[in-house]
Chains A and B, each alone.
Chain A
Amino acid sequence: MNIKRFKHTGSITFLGILLVLMIIIATGTGAMHISPIQVVAILLKRIGIQLPVSYEANMEGVLWMIRLPRVVLSVLIGAGLGVAGAALQGLFRNPLADPGLIGISSGASMAAVVMIIVQHALPVFSGFPAFNFYALNIAAFAGALLTTLFIFRIARNGGQAVISTMLLAGIAVRALCESVTGLMTYLASNEQLRSITFWSLGSLGGASWQTVLGITPFIVIPLIFLPRLAPALNLLALGEREAMHSGVKVPQLKAILVVLATMAVASGVAVAGVIGFIGLIVPHIVRQFTGPDYRILIPGAALSGAVLLTVADLLCRTIVAPAELPVGIITAIIGAPFFLWLIIKEKRTILA
């Protein structure tokens, strides 16, 4: 018991330290190099602590206005995708549930793209940029929610999601959403086309403090409430029936899980487009170290998701500098082989 507790706090501490290091490295890396100690000095200066470290005057501006919002955004979205993946895997009682694979991200992205076109078509929307931004968020959320409910409805059989049905339904929903997105591309003007392309590949390039503030509540609410559901999620792993016998209000739990997970996914999609595989990979990696207990898995997935997306975004904006790769490409390059490996490793147990 004590060894286990030590392992738990140990992994969380380790991931926390790793995340802080990654934030410092990522904010320091780019066209203008800022050393880690300078990053720390600039950040601490904001809260009134002066360190005896010298840095150029424009470093502060670059760090605050360009680098930091982007890194914070990657931390938030990564954490959101990580916990959403863990929650969906618990909800579907299946380790292959992932917001990208089962079409939730496509649903969100389709709704967002439709919203872009509608916003340009209707004069009501012009002149309220903040309203537009939230309308986009809400559209993405509604799209994600409907897709999740739809997939869940189709895939469930006798209280358990049938994996093959879930994946097949995911393929169909993705195809449908992508065709609608394609149709919108056809209708779009040049300017709209750029935003749509950006959506389908995923990018953190649009980061600003405004986008960070816009999505913070939608990520923070799941981050606060999902860990509280961890004991009930553990029981759900035994089966819906056993969870009910043990005192879990199963229908209510499932509804809350769907809302929180889609909220985290959809807000990410609304500002950064579809970033696949984080929600699939992250809970798996964490499980290798901590075991399946959701009480540790959920915070672990939040931290690891943040680390992973921060690293992926750092890679995508440095390896072809001064150009930039869409971050969705990087996560798919890492994620798709991982997914294959997972299927091969567990084909006897999970595809049953």
Chain B
Amino acid sequence: MMLSVKDISLQLGKTTILDKVHFNAQAGELCVIMGANGAGKSTLLKVIAGEYPHYTGNVAIKDRELRSMPVKEQAAVRAVLSQQIMLTQPFSVEEVVGMGRFVYGSGLSSSDKEIVSYALKVMQVQHLRERAYTTLSGGQKQRVQMARVLAQLLETPDLHTADYTGRKMLLLDEPVTGMDILHQQLSLQLAATLASRGVLVVAVLHDFQLAAAYASRILLLKNGTMYAQGTVEEMLTPRHIKDCFGVDVNVLEHPHYNYPLVVTAAAAGLFQSPAPKAINVS
């Protein structure tokens, strides 16, 4: 078992954020965590990322309890892309991506450099390599961070022959926020390719269509608990979505692809405010 999460509960201050969350994930899966704001998606990912070691329950990576793994060992297995990375120093794009290789020893070897170049190329930021990170747009920054995380994960500058089964895990917290549609697709295709090479990918996403197209499994969180988990077809139903998000949707069959189309119903009834008073237009 690549990742096993057993009855995780977590309190921050006095608030219970996660309550007995339970799931297992195998190498090669692309698990998408979904849920409304405040459902505990990011927190669950952070627990797996080792940020809240005071959880109760068990998190095991490759059958080893997370808390007993040294930081370096964790970083060699698991790469994490967080939200809102604040880098205010004008490092060059290439330097930022190069930081991903830290865990493999200080000083970039020639194979490290090849992996960095490859990651820059995959995320289509190669032309920005000399640019100062601080001068990039939000979406470009996000691509550079993705490239850094990719550089941490990869062992060779090649995505198509390597086999990472049971050895690598990638956590993505809303990885496509701020990206244009092309790079959203590119990022998730990359995640899917990594999964096909044996990497376990766990991603928090908000977009039903991206989840439907790329997830091998969806975990639905609600109020800090695991509401349901299963395949795309099992999870993306009007009932589940209404329960978790409070929105009425239609789920249609996609005319060309074998995954569903989620369409929000006309947004009537969301605002139940009193009828507006007549305004005197003079």
A residues adjacent to B (C-beta < 8 A) = 1, 4, 93, 95, 160, 228, 231-232, 234-235, 237-239, 241-242, 244-250, 291-293, 349-350
B91 near A246 with CB under 8 A, answer: no
Question: Chain B, 57-97, contact with A by CB distance < 8 Å: what is the 0/1 string?
Answer: 00000000000001110111011101001111111101110
* Interface residues of A, dominant DSSP: helix
Q: What would be 10 A-B contacts, judged by CB atoms less than 8 Å apart?
A: A1-B113, A231-B99, A231-B106, A242-B82, A242-B85, A245-B82, A246-B152, A247-B103, A293-B91, A349-B88
- The residue in chain B whose Cβ has the minimal distance to the Cβ of A228 is B106
Contact A246 to B51, CB < 8 A, known contacts A1-B113, A349-B88: no
Given contacts A238-B87, A239-B86, A291-B90, contact A244 B102 (CB under 8 A): no
Cross-chain contact B82 with A237 (CB below 8 angstroms)? no
CB distance from A31 to the nearest CB of B (A): 45
Q: Is the CB of B91 within 8 A of A244?
A: no
A349 vs B88: C-alpha distance in the bound complex, in angstroms?
8
CB-CB under 8 A from B113, the residues of chain A are 1
B99 close to A246 (CB less than 8 A): yes
Q: Which chain A residues border B88 with CB–CB below 8 Å?
A: 93, 237, 349-350
A238 with B85, Cβ < 8 A, contacts A246-B99, A246-B103, A247-B75 known: yes
Given contacts A1-B113, A242-B82, A291 and B100 within 8 Å (CB-CB): no
The residues of B that contact A237 with a CB separation of less than 8 Å are 87-89, 91
Given contacts A244-B50, A349-B88, contact A238 B80 (CB under 8 A): no
B49 closest partner in A (C-beta): A245
A234 touches B95 (CB 8 A): yes
- Point out the residues of chain B lying under 8 angstroms from A349, CB to CB: 88
A338 to B51, CA, bound (A): 39
Closest 5 pairs between A and B when the two form their complex, measured CB to CB: A247-B75, A247-B103, A292-B89, A245-B80, A231-B106
Chain A minimum-CB-distance residue to B86:
A239
Q: How far is the CA of A245 from the CA of B72 in the complex (A)?
A: 9
- Residue among B70, B87, B89, B90 having the largest count of chain A Cβ atoms under 10 Å: B89
Partner of B51, one of A4, A238, A244: A244
Q: Which residues of the partner chain A approach B99 to less than 8 Å between Cβ atoms?
A: 231, 234-235, 238, 246
Q: Which B positions have Cβ atoms within 8 angstroms of A?
A: 49-51, 70-72, 74-76, 78-80, 82, 85-92, 94-96, 99-100, 102-103, 106-107, 113, 152
Q: Are the C-beta atoms of B95 and A293 separated by less than 8 Å?
A: yes
Is B72 a contact partner of A247 (Cβ separation < 8 A)? yes
Cβ-closest chain B residue relative to A352: B88
Bound complex: CA of A210 vs CA of B76, how far in Å?
A: 49
Closest to B104 in A: A247
- Indicate if the CB atoms of B102 and A241 lie closer than 8 Å: no
Of all chain A residues, which has the CB nearest B100? A246
Q: Kindly name the residue among A95, A245, A247 whose own CB sees the greatest number of chain B CB atoms within 10 A.
A: A245
Residues of A with C-beta under 8 A to B79: 245
Q: Is the CB of A292 within 8 A of B106?
A: no
> Cβ of B82: which chain A residues have Cβ within 8 Å of it?
239, 241-242, 245
Contact A160 B92 (CB under 8 A): no
Give the residue name and chain of the B residue nearest to A89 (CB). Answer: B89
A122 to chain B, nearest CB (A): 46
Decide yes or no: A292 and B90 within 8 Å by CB, A1-B113, A231-B102, A246-B103 being known contacts: yes
Choose among B71, B78, B92, B103 the residue with the greatest number of A CB atoms under 10 Å from its CB: B71
* Distance A247 CA – B94 CA, assembled complex (angstroms): 19
Contact of A247 among B49, B76, B89, B95 (CB under 8 A): B76
In contact, A234 and B106 (Cβ under 8 angstroms): no
B145 → chain A closest CB, angstroms? 9
Q: How far is the CA of A231 from the CA of B49 in the complex (A)?
A: 21
Q: How far is the CA of A349 from the CA of B90 in the complex (A)?
A: 12
User: Quick one: which of A228, A239, A350 contacts B85, CB cutoff 8 A?
Assistant: A239
Q: How far is the CA of A239 from the CA of B49 in the complex (A)?
A: 14
A231 to B92, CA, bound (A): 14
> Nearest Cβ in chain A — how far from B49, in angstroms?
6
Given pairs A234-B95, A235-B99, A246-B75, 9 additional interface contacts (CB within 8 A): A237-B89, A238-B87, A239-B82, A245-B80, A247-B72, A247-B102, A248-B102, A291-B91, A349-B88
Q: Output the nearest chain B residue to A346 by Cβ-Cβ distance.
A: B88
From known contacts A246-B75, A246-B102, infer whether A241 and B51 are also in contact, taking CB-CB under 8 Å.
Answer: yes
A1 touches B76 (CB 8 A): no
Residues of B within 8 A of A244 (CB): 50-51, 71
The answer to whether B86 and A160 touch across the interface, beta carbons within 8 angstroms, is yes
In the complex, what residues of A have CB within 8 A of residue B100's CB?
246
- Closest residue to A4 on the B side, CB-wise? B92
Contact A249 B71 (CB under 8 A): yes
Q: Is the CB of B87 within 8 A of A248?
A: no
Chain A residues with CB under 8 A of B94: 1
A244 to chain B, nearest CB (A): 6
Residue in A228, A248, A249 whose Cβ sees the most chain B Cβ within 10 Å: A248
**Separation of A174 and B263 alpha carbons in the complex (Å):** 62
The verdict on A234 contacting B49 (CB below 8 Å), with A245-B82, A246-B100 known, is no
Chain B residues within an 8 Å CB radius of A293: 91, 95
Measured CA separation A247–B71 after assembly (Å): 5
Residue numbers in A under 8 Å from B50 (CB-CB):
244-245
A232 to B102 CA separation, bound complex (whole angstroms): 8
Distance in Å: Cβ of A207 to nearest Cβ of chain B: 36
> How far does the alpha carbon of A1 sit from the alpha carbon of B90 in the complex, in Å?
16
Nearest neighbor of B50 in chain A, beta-carbon distance: A244
Residue of B nearest to A245 (CB): B80
| A244→B99 CA distance, assembly (Å) | 12
On whether the beta carbons of B89 and A235 are closer than 8 Å, the reply is: no
Nearest Cβ in chain B — how far from A146, in angstroms?
28
